């Protein structure tokens, strides 16, 4: 990670946080638009869903304000059984356990002497009504300390009923957005996602992959931010066409059973392995916002 002056990235932090807010607004509008637009198929009689928006907060160990964000959750619509879209800006100091949760690699420059941090990001997880529509996750974020900065995140598809053409579309759209930043980015971040979203105790992936990066700092903040933005920009064109393609597909009790069992994989991964979950809980963020990713219903056999 590149060492920087303490004051150097104030403007860049504001740009990053502003982008995550903008992306959140785009996605929330698109998801509510999908609820309004899908008035045919097996769930057509359901009322279109709407997001409930709640401000979240983080309190430091001494009781002082340490940032927060917005938690937007929709439950029980035509398209979504549960979907959350969160944005946050948090800051303060990090204890040893939180430092471990914050960075994939040990040894954050200067953290032992000056444990201040700032972080902002967007995180979404969508669990669907129709089992033929794939669940999906997307998260991008920026971390800052007085001596270092880095970006992270990605997007991955989690169908319980797999369609190869859906997987191909999702990956092709991600690649089309990443290739302008260099032909090596997509294959590297795809491999990283395949490794990161693997469930060791099940000896399988939780879905069909996507892209993922962490501790990303090439020394060129603008280039790294542009890559992070395009991961976010890729999300809606990568996933919404799959909703359009599958939402009207009839489903039965066996399909619903497969969906609930597959959701168990998602819950296991997020509670046992996910670094974002660990970081949020270790640093005192609102637990409801941190655990927003969990499905409303799941099943284990």
**Catalytic (active site) residue 137:** yes
Helix (H, G, I), strand (E, B) or coil at 291: helix
Q: At what angle do helices 164-178 and 221-246 cross, to 10 degrees?
A: 160
> From the candidates 38, 137, 169, 171, which is the catalytic residue?
137
Residues 75, 287: Cα–Cα separation, whole Å: 18
Give, in order, the Cα–Cα distances in Å from 115 to each of 95, 102, 112, 118, 144: 7, 12, 6, 10, 11
Residues 84, 294: Cα–Cα separation, whole Å: 10
| Cβ–Cβ < 8 Å for 283, 58 | yes
Which letter does DSSP use for residue 74 in this model? E
- CB-based burial label for 27 (10 Å; 0-12, 13-18, 19+): buried
At a CB cut-off of 8 Å and minimum separation 6, what does 119 contact? 88, 89, 90, 91, 102, 141, 142, 143, 144
At a CB cut-off of 8 Å and minimum separation 6, what does 166 contact? 134, 157, 159, 242, 245, 246
- Residues designated as active site: 137
């Amino acid at each position: 990670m590149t060492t920087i002056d303490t004051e150097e990235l104030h403007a860049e932090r504001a740009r990053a946080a502003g982008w995550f807010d903008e992306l959140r607004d785009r996605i929330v509008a698109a998801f509510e638009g999908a609820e309004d637009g899908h008035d045919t198929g097996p769930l057509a009689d359901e009322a279109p869903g709407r997001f409930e928006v709640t401000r979240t907060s983080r309190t430091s160990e001494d009781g002082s304000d340490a940032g927060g964000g917005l938690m937007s959750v929709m439950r029980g619509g035509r398209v979504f059984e549960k979907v959350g879209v969160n944005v946050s800006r948090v800051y303060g100091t990090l204890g040893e356990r939180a430092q471990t949760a914050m960075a994939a690699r040990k040894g954050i420059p200067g953290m032992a002497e000056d444990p201040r941090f700032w972080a902002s990001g967007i995180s979404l997880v969508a669990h669907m009504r129709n089992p033929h529509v794939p669940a999906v996750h997307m998260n991008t974020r920026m971390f800052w300390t007085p001596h270092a900065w880095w970006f992270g995140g990605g997007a991955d598809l989690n169908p319980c009923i797999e369609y190869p053409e859906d997987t191909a579309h999702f990956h092709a759209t991600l690649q089309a957005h990443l290739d302008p930043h260099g032909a090596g980015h997509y294959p590297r971040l795809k491999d990283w996602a395949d490794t990161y979203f693997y469930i060791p105790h099940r000896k399988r992936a939780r879905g069909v992959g996507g892209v993922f990066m962490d501790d990303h700092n090439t020394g060129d903040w603008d280039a790294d931010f542009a890559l992070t933005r395009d991961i976010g920009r890729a999300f809606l064109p990568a996933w919404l066409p799959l909703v359009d393609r599958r939402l009207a597909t009839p489903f039965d009790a066996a399909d619903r059973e497969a969906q609930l069992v597959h959701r168990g994989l998602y819950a296991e991964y997020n509670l046992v392995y996910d670094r974002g979950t660990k970081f949020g809980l270790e640093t005192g963020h609102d637990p409801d916002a941190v655990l927003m990713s969990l499905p409303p219903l799941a099943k284990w056999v």
